[in-house]
Amino acid sequence: MSTLNEEVELLRKIPLFSAIDPGKLKLLAFASNRKIYNKDQDLFKQGDAGDSAFVVITGKADIIVHTDTKEVIVATISENEIIGEISILCEIPRTATVRAKEDLEVLKIKKEHFLGLVSQVPELGIEIMRELASRLQKTTGELGEARKELSSAKSV
């Protein structure tokens, strides 16, 4: 079993939380729960209501988008990354399924605690916007490359 101080140190490793006052992180860690998922177990499914964010402690998970015909792995996340925050912040259903690629240990942060921290620490809101903008830029680039590949394949 981990101590509260160990969980605070874990949160400090997340770039999003690294500059936050340790006292505030201690409250967040206290209100969070450690969870273990087995390989191939879903943390949540695309379309679910977003009630929490997850910080990966150990292991890896795939981010999967479901299309009409198949599942597409769009990213893999690992230690010290946060997932699930988009549906909390935007109050929209989950945009993807997250599935443990291997045994996975996470820190589950409930929506009200995550949003409470964002309201107490405005700098966190700015960091979240930067992270989301970075993800959007990456996705836009990948879509542009996919469009080029599709155009090339059609012209052959």
pLDDT greater than 80 at residue 51: yes
* Contact status, residue 76 vs residue 51, Cβ threshold 8 Å: no
Alpha-carbon span 55 to 74, nearest angstrom: 18
Model confidence band, residue 1 (pLDDT cutoffs 50, 70, 90): low
Query: For residues 146 and 106, which has the higher predicted lDDT (pLDDT)?
Result: 106
Mean pLDDT confidence for 81-90: 84
Alpha helices in 32-121, H assignment, sequence order: 85-90, 111-120
CB atoms within 10 A of CB 68: 4
pTM listed for this prediction: 0.79
Backbone angles phi, psi at 19, to 5 degrees: -100, 5
- Span 61-76, pLDDT tens digits: 999 999 888 999 989 9
Domain 4-121 matching CATH 2.60.120.10: the answer reads yes
Alpha-carbon span 24 to 45, nearest angstrom: 30
Top mean pLDDT of 82-91, 99-108, 110-119, 120-129 is at 99-108
Tokens representing residue 43 in the block: 């943390």
Mean pLDDT confidence for 140-149: 80
Model confidence band, residue 44 (pLDDT cutoffs 50, 70, 90): very high
Model confidence band, residue 91 (pLDDT cutoffs 50, 70, 90): confident
The H or E element that residue 33 is part of is: strand 33-37
What residue spans define the domains of the chain? 4-121
CB atoms within 10 A of CB 85: 22
